Amino acid sequence: SSRRRHTRYISVTGVQTCALPILSVYLFMHHPPFTIYNKQMDSIGFEPKDKFWQIIEQYKNVKHIFFGHVHLPICGIYNGTGYSSTRGTNHQIALLPKDDNTFFNSNEQSTYSIVHITHHQVNCIIHEYLNEENAYSCSVPLKEEYES
């Protein structure tokens, strides 16, 4: 079954990656590994959540989890690990569906994220790429620290 395959994959790669305690680990995955309290997305979410967290909680070096799938901008902390997602690149899911049995889309802007990771910072810039025609110059000189 696909659930058994996922469990095996998580067990092997999770232990190999997280077992290096000197490294900070940043996970990029499709599904969020926890409930997001949106019935539409949670009904087709990541499984097995409990097995995933059994592996992750053995190590303290998983710093942040980036995920997609939910087509909603979400960020927070789960069991001490930061997480974030952004809207989708093709369609958006309505935050508050009208009923539990139908998926509803919304007309919000599509986005993608650019992630910068350094020893001291994780910075996630969300870009509404379909809105670039509204950009304008404000003629403010750049500080030296930003110039390349």
Task: Please tell me what DSSP assigns to residue 146.
Answer: G
Q: Which tokens belong to 60?
A: 């303290």
- pLDDT tens track for 101-113: 677 778 888 888 9
- pLDDT tens track for 6-50: 444 454 455 555 556 667 888 888 889 998 887 778 888 788 888
Q: Which of 23, 103, 15, 109 is nearest to 54 (CA)?
A: 15
Q: Which tokens belong to 16?
A: 């190999």
At residue 55, what is the residue type? I
Q: Which tokens belong to 113?
A: 């994220």
Question: Which residues, in sequence order, are bridge partners of residue 113?
Answer: 126
